[in-house]
Amino acid sequence: MAHILLFEDNLSIPYSNKGFIDEAINDHDLVIVGDAPAMWTALQHRQADILIVDLGTPDDYGQGIVTHMQENYPGTGLLVLTHGDQQDLRSQGLLLGADQILTKPVSASKLAAHVVALYRRIKRHRNIVAVPSPQWRLRTTERQLQVNESLPVDLTEKEFNFLQLLTSSSHPIARDTLNREMRIDITGDERRDTKKIDMLIYRLRRKVKKSLRVDLPVRNAYGTGYSLTAKLKQI
């Protein structure tokens, strides 16, 4: 069964794309959202095979979505619907990593054909590259991070506290909560305070990539905060 997430930012026309998909694809479940926060929340709670984004405004908003999907959900197929005056978005979106960009109006049969073809390609790719999930461990006594049986990497106190906080919640933890719990100095300047936690995580990502040769299993929840993308076991 294909798990499809549909983001339409203009719901004044009731779910026209939903009708196209329901008519042409039998074995699927479809979730519809009308704004970006709801879309990111849906993706965090359940992996989508395909995200269809119907953009109604010719600005760089769509490019931000494509970039974030490529960085944080590379296993999800991305199909973007644009309007005729969004040719720049079409070209840039393909370069940034969208799988398909279709110009509206698009027929039900054409939309369905692209969805089916994209889903088949995703399933085939998953079957080819399927590998065991990395086993992450947070060593509390030594204050270290380890993946599988590799040599662990030493963590600073704040890096360790950050990862330990993420293990305590299945939902993203807001930056201000992280700042408070990790006792990061607060200046009162929201932009500056946000940059402090972001820089700490940026350095931690580089350290893990260099030492463990894998990406840190932490996701930026698009303005909400940070969450884990894999189980992190404390030992």
The Cα angle at residue 107 between residues 103 and 108, in degrees rounded to 5: 125
- Asked whether 153 and 145 are in contact (CB, 8 A), the reply is yes
**Mean pLDDT, residues 179-199 taken together:** 66
Give the tens place of pLDDT for each residue, 18-36: 666 665 566 667 788 877 8
Residue in the structure block whose two tokens are 């399927």: 130
Helical H segments across the chain, by residue range: 16-24, 36-45, 61-72, 87-96, 108-129, 157-167, 175-181, 190-212
Q: What is the mean pLDDT of residues 133-152?
A: 88
User: What domains does the chain contain, in order, with CATH numbers?
Assistant: 2-129 (3.40.50.2300), 136-234 (1.10.10.10)
Q: What was the pLDDT predicted at 24?
A: 53
Query: For helices 61-72 and 87-96, what crossing angle results, to 10°?
Result: 10
Q: What pTM, to 2 d.p., does this model score?
A: 0.52
Tell me what the pLDDT averaged over the chain comes to.
Answer: 76
Q: What is the pLDDT of residue 89?
A: 54
* Interatomic CA distance for residues 145 and 25, integer angstroms: 44
Q: CB of 46 within 8 A of CB of 1?
A: no
DSSP string, 80-149: EEE-TT-HHHHHHHHHHT-SEEEESS--HHHHHHHHHHHHHHHHHHHHHH--PPP-EEEETTTTEEEETT
b/e map 113-148, b = 16+ CB within 10 Å: ebbeebbeebeeeeeeeeeeeeebbbbeeebbbbbe
